[in-house]
Amino acid sequence: MSTAEILRRARRAAGLNQEELARRAGTSRPTLSAYEHGRKSPTLETATRLLGEAGFELDIRPRVTFVERGTSRGRVIVVPTTLPRLPIQEALASVKLPLHLNWSDPGRQFNLRDRAQRARAYEIVLREGGPEDILKYVDGALLIDLWDDLVLPRAVRAAWAETVEDAIVAAA
């Protein structure tokens, strides 16, 4: 996502127009418009100030990369090197997994606020999903909470174990 898109989304999420955010941040509306349309690039300090006045913080997160882990039967399981985190509204949303994941019960809705439904959805995504699916549906903290209760094939559990255990140790 571009700096322009981040600034535009933050301002809109705060319910502010360009004039109001520019006033609060001590800049002009034309300058803010230029940032939001990608015609100018704000410094890191300026972007932080604009986001702050919209009620947001600039944050850094570890980049989630994926590795392939092979099984004894030749299957490849894709696992993140660090567990992803989702915004709370996505982590606890109601979702319908796509057909390539949930081919046995197409159309089923999973309410991720419900622990049992979240466990079932995570089992499906860990077993059938690729990197895009993991980043879209799996929250690392919620996965850790469910880890001991998930019903997973032995190979899938073994492939994910190191990443999950590293996250548990890091959180302690």
Q: Report all structural domains of the chain as residue ranges with CATH numbers, in order of start.
A: 3-53 (1.10.260.40), 66-171 (no CATH)
* Residue 70: predicted pLDDT: 84
Query: How much of the chain exceeds pLDDT 70, in percent?
Result: 100
Report angle CA 6, 25, 56 to the nearest 5 degrees.
Answer: 40
What is the C-alpha to C-alpha distance for residues 33 and 76, in angstroms, rounded to an integer? 47
Residue 163 identity (one-letter amino acid): T
- DSSP state letter for 148: G
| Mean pLDDT within 97-124 | 96
Q: Compute the mean pLDDT over every residue in the chain, rounded to the nearest whole number.
A: 95
* Residue 46: predicted pLDDT: 96
| Mean pLDDT within 78-103 | 96
**Partners of 76 in the β-ladder:** 70
What is the C-alpha to C-alpha distance for residues 44 and 57, in angstroms, rounded to an integer? 12
* Residue 33: predicted pLDDT: 97
What is the C-alpha to C-alpha distance for residues 44 and 6, in angstroms, rounded to an integer? 13
* Residue 62: predicted pLDDT: 81
| Mean pLDDT within 102-124 | 96
pTM: 0.73
Give the dihedral of Cα atoms 118, 121, 126, 128; nearest 10 deg.
180
Give the distance from CA 12 to its chain's centroid: 20
* Residue 111: predicted pLDDT: 98
Centre a 10 Å sphere on the Cβ of residue 152 and count the other Cβ atoms it contains.
16
| Mean pLDDT within 141-147 | 97
What is the C-alpha to C-alpha distance for residues 10 and 25, in angstroms, rounded to an integer? 13
- DSSP state letter for 75: -
Q: Which two tokens stand for residue 125?
A: 């995504």
The set of long-range contacts for 114-119, using a CB threshold of 8 Å and a minimum separation of 24, is 115/146, 118/142, 118/146, 119/146, 119/149, 119/150
Of the candidate ranges 36-40, 70-74, 93-97, the one whose mean pLDDT is the lowest: 70-74
Q: Is a pLDDT exceeding 90 seen at residue 71?
A: no
| Mean pLDDT within 31-40 | 97
* Residue 141: predicted pLDDT: 96
